[in-house]
Structure 1
Amino acid sequence: MIYREMTKDDYDAAYSLWEKTEGMGLSAADSREEISRFLERNPGLSQVCVSPDGGLAGTALCGHDGRRGFLYHVAVSGEHRGKGIGRGLVSNCLEALRSEGIAKCHLMVIGSNADGQRFWSGIGWEFRDSILLYSHGT
């Protein structure tokens, strides 16, 4: 497996993986243009894992606001789950954030995504039920 920075050229394969990932929420913010802008704003932070056959085995979008890091769309293809790829992607993202002076990272999991909740709890992330998320479309 090869871990490397995600580029805008990975978009089609990444989006296909996200569409196949149960519990993944997709919206207009996941268009090619929006993801390209995210990658440009956060160079070197987002990661992909490529399998030996050249297919995309996993993704992790990673960025920060100067204070806190954020992970989005951490996904591993079904045939590659259970091999530590998700952990590897997250570890690479956290290391990249630390290199930019970011010590804390957050992520969101859709409430009905039991697999996602098990994954994050299983690798030591803290569930914060005291924080409420509010959103506003501009």
Structure 2
Amino acid sequence: MIAIRPMTFDDYDAVLALMRGAPGVAVRAADSPAAIQRYLTRNPGLSFVAESDDRLIGCIFGGHDGRRGSLLHLAVAADFQRQGVGRRLVERALAGLAAEGILKSHIDVFADNRGAIAFWQRLGWVKRDDICRFSFNNSSDPNV
């Protein structure tokens, strides 16, 4: 049986290990313990993990800026993919955001990650071609 529950900081090590093993998921300095603790505190009840037999098999981070939601780092263990785990995690995160009045959300996907692009499109997400994402690094560390 697969259970979905809110993520806690105690899940950090298992979540990070899962993310590191997921193709197309970048782990950066911004995923440090302090940063993840801050994120979970700032966005309570919007990030979730999936477990099977006490093994963490999936995760998703959800948050918002008061207007729009953001989903980050959806990852599902390879042996549990194509079983609806990712879909259930997304549904829980979106339901949490909707409960806070956030009805539109975004996710960033690497342009060469065809599997992730296909997944999001199957869920009804629309690939945007009308905007460009720009980033600014206020640090000398390119891995932030």
Structure 2 letter corresponding to 1:120: W
Q: Secondary structure at the match of 1:71?
A: strand
Spell out the pairing of 1:20-99 with structure 2 (5 A cutoff): 20-51=21-52, 53-99=53-99
Identity fraction in percent: 45
| 1:122 CA displacement | 1.0
Structure 2 gaps of 5+ residues are 139-144
Alignment partners' CA distance in 2, 1:17 and 1:57: 7
What RMSD in Å do the two structures reach over aligned CA positions?
A: 0.7
| 1:121 CA displacement | 0.7
| 1:110 CA displacement | 0.7
Structure 2 letter corresponding to 1:73: H
Q: Secondary structure at the match of 1:4?
A: strand
Question: What's the TM-score once normalised by structure 1's chain length?
Answer: 0.97
Aligned length: 137
Alignment partners' CA distance in 2, 1:129 and 1:74: 22
Deviations 1:9-44 (A, max 9, x none): 001000000010011112111111111110000000
- Map of 1:15 onto structure 2: 16
Structure 2 letter corresponding to 1:37: R
Q: Contact (CA 8 Å) 1:63, 1:69: kept in 2 or not?
A: yes
Spell out the pairing of 1:99-118 with structure 2 (5 A cutoff): 99-118=99-118
| 1:114 CA displacement | 1.1
Q: Contact (CA 8 Å) 1:5, 1:46: kept in 2 or not?
A: yes
Structure 1 gaps of 5+ residues are none
